[in-house]
Chain A
Amino acid sequence: MPRLRPRSALAATGVRFVNVLSRRLTRGAGTVMGGRVGLKIDPHLLTHLSAGRRVVLVTGTNGKTTTSAMLRVGWASSVTSNETGANMTEGLVAALAASPHDRVVLETDEGWFAGVVAAAAPEVVVLLNLSRDQLDRANEVRRMAQRWRDCLNADAFFGVVVANCSDPLVTYAAQTARYVRWVDVPLSWRGDAASCPHCTRAIVFEVGSWSCPCGFSKPTDVTARLSSALVINDTSFNLDLALPGTFNDVNAAFALTALAELGVSLPEALVRIRSLTTVQGRYGRRRYGERTLRLLLAKNPAGTTALLESLDEAADVWVAINAQLADGRDPSWLYDVPFEQLRGRHVRCLGERRLDIATRLTYAGVSCEVVEDPAVLRRGEGEVTLVANYTAFREWMDVTTPC
């Protein structure tokens, strides 16, 4: 039993793994592999590598990568982080082994979150939102909320929970935690929270609040509130981010609330967060032949709905959809997205499942065409917004270059 061994033996073992991992990591994309090997040798490696460091975990269905990037730049000095988005235990271990900084920001997969909280003893956890994502391979969202709640309750967790009180499922997850900082943000998607997680009755949504007949209702003792400005602990900030969309203002609200908990000066943190113009290739402008493309990642109904609301009126819209393992094999979720909002545009349909998205758009009354060979699109004018799901996004990153 490893936990019965003397501490020094553990530390020595840990260091050996770090060396093994670091060698692997210098060869590039082996982050997951290296982590997996390390965990085979020491199943408690995540605990050992986190010990004595200030760890912040970010989880939720949407916004993990961007919020983590904001926390990283906002925290100022060197920060260890899983920037590439490898967010299951192997990826976290690899990131921790590769970089020794005292400050750690880890975006964490929703399903792995409970185990990571127990292993890494984070100082702060950020719960962004919870909605359906790839249900063909992940658990159902309500069960996920329960698992979060179990790992964050007052007897199990002693850190601070920064949580979205506009989202009933997240509220349920954070409700029994010892220290909670509620963040109140605009929410465009609540499709998965219609029925109360306590009693399954209908949750009644009103402007700015929600409640259930059983007494479960939106917390009012909020630490931060985002409307036209962001107010944290009674101080108001105009965000003015370079990143587009209300959903990125929401991400910033969580990042800044967490940074306040970490003792960071918020005006300075905000200046640094404003300098972010692209996150892992997202939002930034990229070159494709004669074209300029802005790549947006759309993985699930909630995220895609938020993206559609932020689209530039003038830009051409292309949509690229795949259905590989990493995307979820079932593109049914396209019917949970209000693509009707694209009426009046002419949309180009790309990716392995271009016929699926074209059919969806046709039934939404949106003019569209199926493009068999994207190379024909290299020629042409005007700015394009390309909305792509996970593996399609990666393919488009590979065939485009930064402007």
Chain B
Amino acid sequence: MMVGTWVDRRNLRLECQSHLGHLPAHLRRRTRYHLIGWFKREGVAVIREERSMSSDTLKLDEDIRGRKEEGKPDEGKESGVQRERRYVGADRPRPEAPDKVTGKTLYIHDLTRPGMLWGKIKHSEHAHARIKSIDTSRAEALDGVRAVLTGYNTPEVRIGFLRDNFALKRDKVRQYRDEVAAVAAISPEIAQQAVDLIEVEYEPLPAVFDPVEALEPSAPLIHERDALGRPREDNVLAMECGHESGDLAAARERARWIAEGNYRVPVIQQACMGTAGCIAEFDARGNLTFTGKTQIPFLAQKDFNQALKAMGLIGNNARVVVPALGGAFGTGLDTHCYEYITILLAHRTGRPVKMLMSREEEFAYLSPRQSARVHIEQGIDEDGRLTHRKIHVLQDNGAYASWGATFPTVMLLPVTSLYKVPVVHYTSQCVYTNNTYCQAMRGYGNPEVTWAIECNLDELAEQSGLDALELRKRNCNEPGEVTPMGGKVTSCGLMECLEVTGKQLAWEEKRPASQAARASDSVRKRGVGLASLIHVGGSGRIYRSDASGIILKVDDFGNVNVSYGGVEMGQGLHAALSAAIADGLGVTPDKVFINATDTATCPWDVGTHASRGAFMACNAALLSIAKIRERLLAFCAEGFAELLRKNIQTLSKKDASFEPPTIDIDAACRPDNFDILDNQVFLRDQAHEPWARVELGKVLRAMHFRQGGDMLTEPAFYDPPSDLPDWRRGIGNMSATYTYGTQGVEIEVDTETGVVTILRMVSALDCGTVLNPKALQGQVIGGIAQGVGYALYEEVKMQEGRITNPSFTDYKIPTAHEMNFPIHLHYADTYDPEGPFGSKGAGEPGLVPTAPAIMNAITNACGIRIRSLPITPEKVLAALKQR
């Protein structure tokens, strides 16, 4: 099976132009924003395809049905669901797309409340300093100001999973963005004016900005005490994640070639099109409703409930509502100081308070993706098989602990399981500094360490003379394998991904030709390179519960109302979920209505991360659907015959030529003879008879409006078959299945300017069944765009802890110009036994191997190796000169 598309270079620009008129007004105004980013992040497909995918998609569907019949074990959760598949796998537009492209979607930026106030924050002007005094008197005296808060006139609200951060800081600041005071006022302008009137006196402290220096015994302590008040002695976080399997000394003996190196990745920004913001409002009983940008409504509810308790609101509840999101990419995985401050302001004033981040504020004050320094050593034996992999990761955590501190736990999977490697030694260390503290971003941990693993593999290939593709094939993962961390490989299409990528790149011809041409005196040199990925494909268990709950409610009109606690943030979750429900239940997708994510109405979900959205939501929905179908068909066994008789009566009246059926209707209404399709319940053995089918809503009404009536509302709770790893030992099958992929790229290096131009790319992905080719294409190409940014352009620059490029003028992400190259997409022919309809998670993988693939191609072109991202023209030119 092959689903292929080429991005047409000429049309991309035109398409972008022609979409302009449909941009929401607030985006049309912002002409400096990157259009491609908007399209990418909103998932509007702008990439015209050279040929339609529909025929391939159909073929895919047939393949899978064929294979299922050949004896794919029926897991039960899909029982009664294996019928004609019309919407899963079909190239359908997303249900939310019309509202988005016509500007009707309401983001946090659009929402308002009667009597609402605006919040603004006063941030630290030092990287590390004692707060000597805060004078808020001038701010309080300003007309229109309703509250001025500091750490000294509010309850202490501790935040973060290590409880090392505070909503408002007291005593000292540890980074430039630290929140020292906040204002609520009747307009954002007045709030900002008031913030500017707040005077803070500081006593600067010695600061540390380099994680290696922060490890020195003489380094200033960022936190003098831990959350329990015990004195701390160093800046190392109390986090342990590592792995040790096999005899390293023996493996080194066995190795014929060993390559080692230090690799670095910078801090980068998630750069969501929709900036962050929230509205907090209290009812008269002290219960909070929080509307804001989050990917973890239920964990946020828990965090906010803890805050309410700290505020003296014992027993009160936080309800979390998620508005439409313009991308999240991990920014919504933790709760943030600004959110707690908004809650404090709303509570103090008794009015709804809104806080909205401008682009520049988001760059300066929110948590970006964490940097990493990776030391790696890998060896191969005489046959090119990996003997060992030894990795140490040092992380600059910044001033407080958020999910950046947990990157090593995500790295565990690629470190132990990308390719077959028998001996793995992995250690990690996370250190406090006075830099900005960091958070999650798409695939977090994985691209950072895959950069090191895949570049280092090419160095091994170079050393040994073995072809880099062949080296990877010899160590390729395969189904049935149990990886050193205990990862159970169920489906695995990595070999196919490698082979297709090689073929599409014309690897066998171009790789040696480019290498041979390195010495030529041509200014522009071309090269090909590739890199692979492994990622969690069946969610990733990082909490005791890794579940997703769902409620399906079928109403009197045959509509399916869905309450799901996961978050649609532009990734296409609703497209996948509505198709799964439509096919699973037998309705058309327009009958599926997915409610806003709301902790009050949706069942618990751990959060939308780890590429788990579609995998979890669809699996939960299939469990619910199985129950609905069972109950519906049980009712039909009693009540369908009567409905059919009414049908026959009506048809006889309407049409004189109608001949009533002669069969025994009661006998035909046996439980195994019902099915649902196209919003109709019908008798299987009379499927073509108009009298033998009844509209679903009618059946529901018959079930409802009777003595002892009932309706179909079915909750389901799906917790995937995976283990919570022992992080210290790095052991545990953390996902129900794993996604694989390979990306290949052909580039051209301008050896006079150092500029790297991408000529074309190949992405081969093993994510099982493709649920929606168009949505997946958006995910993959969007991921590649972020991967290209990571590889070539992006870096949050800091000078003594202060971010020096906090705007799109100074921080560059790729636009349509930089993405103006063909991308060949391929999806491996795999079917995952645990995945809904055989699919695996695909949200994050797109950006994981992009940077090393590009670097490996640059090496192929001109023999240089740069080990720190981004690969800027300056670095390339400097490396060329050193050669």
Tell me whether A and B are bound partners: no
Interface residues of A (CB under 8 A from B): none
Partner-A contacts on B (CB < 8 A): none
